[in-house]
Amino acid sequence: MQLTGYFRSSAAWRVRIALAWKGVAYETAFVHLTRDGGEQHGPAYRAKNPAGLVPYLEDGGLGFGQSLAMLEYLEETHPEPPLLPADPAARAKVREIALAIACDIHPLNNLRVLSHLTGRLGRSEAEKLAWYRHWVAVGFDAIEALLPETAAEAGCCCGEQVSLADVCLVPQVFNARRFECPLDAYPKIRAVDARLSALPAFYETAPEGQPDAA
C-alpha cells in the first residue's frame, strides 16, 4: 500500500492514524501543496488523481482519493482492531461525528478555499482567519453537543472504543489550534483530544514528525 500525502493535510493524517491503529505497513509519497504553486496541480499528479487533492491511496492496482473512502476501505480490508463498532446504530453515530468534521468543517477551511478567499475574492488575512474560526466554531458547537456526557471520561467520542470519529477529531483540533481558534467552550472535545493524543497511533503520525515537514 502507498499513501500520498502532505504533512499538514488533516485528511492525510486521518488515514495515517487508521493505518497505524491497524498496524498496516505502507509506503509514503508526498505532494507539496504550496511549493512551486502546489505540486498537486501538476500534470503527473492530476493524471493519477484528477481531484488534485491529498491524500491518495494505492493498493495493488487500486488507486483512489477521499480520506473517508480510505478509512472505510481499511476497515473492510483490515477489520482488526476495528475503528467502527459492530452495531449499525452505533456505526451511524460514529459516522455522524466523522462526517460533521469531514463535510461540515474541513472542506470549508482547506488550503484551496483559503487561497480562493485571499486570491480570487481579494479578502484580507484577517477575513480569512475569521472565516476559518467561524466554521470551526459552528462545527465544534454541534460536535460538543453531539458527544455523550461520558466522552470526557471515556476519552473517545463514542462509547469506550476508538473510532473513525476520533480519527477525524484529533487532526481537526490540531488545525483549530494552529489557527488559534478558541476552544474554551468545548471541554468534551478537549478531553477526548488530550487522551487520544497520548496514544502512539495518533502522536507518531502527527504532522510535525512527517518526513516532508520542512
Enumerate binding residues for a copy of itself (CB under 8 A). 50-53, 59, 62, 64-66, 68-70, 72-73, 76-77, 88-89, 91-93, 95-96, 99-100, 102-104, 106-108, 112-113, 116, 120-121, 123, 127, 131, 134, 138, 141-142, 145-146
Of the two residues 26 and 64, which places its CB atom closer to a copy of itself in the complex?
64
Shortest Cβ 130–a copy of itself spacing (Å): 8
Of the two residues 127 and 204, which places its CB atom closer to a copy of itself in the complex?
127
C-alpha of 72 from chain center: 14
Shortest Cβ 54–a copy of itself spacing (Å): 13
Of the two residues 37 and 120, which places its CB atom closer to a copy of itself in the complex?
120
Of the two residues 146 and 199, which places its CB atom closer to a copy of itself in the complex?
146
> Which residues contact residue 133 at a Cβ distance below 8 angstroms, ignoring those fewer than 6 apart?
179, 180, 181, 182
Shortest Cβ 12–a copy of itself spacing (Å): 14
Q: Which amino acid is located at 182 in the chain?
A: P
C-alpha cell at 214: 520542512
Shortest Cβ 74–a copy of itself spacing (Å): 9
C-alpha cell at 29: 509519497
Q: For the stretch 123-154, what's the b/e string if a residue is b when 16 or more beta carbons lie within 10 angstroms of its beta carbon?
A: beeeebeebbbebbbebbebbbebbeeebbeb
Shortest Cβ 13–a copy of itself spacing (Å): 16
**Cell 481558534 identifies what position?**
181
Of the two residues 124 and 197, which places its CB atom closer to a copy of itself in the complex?
124
Of the two residues 95 and 195, which places its CB atom closer to a copy of itself in the complex?
95
CA proximity to 2, closest of 68, 70, 102: 70
CA proximity to 9, closest of 47, 49, 44, 43: 49
* Cα 132 to Cα 109: distance, rounded to the nearest angstrom: 6
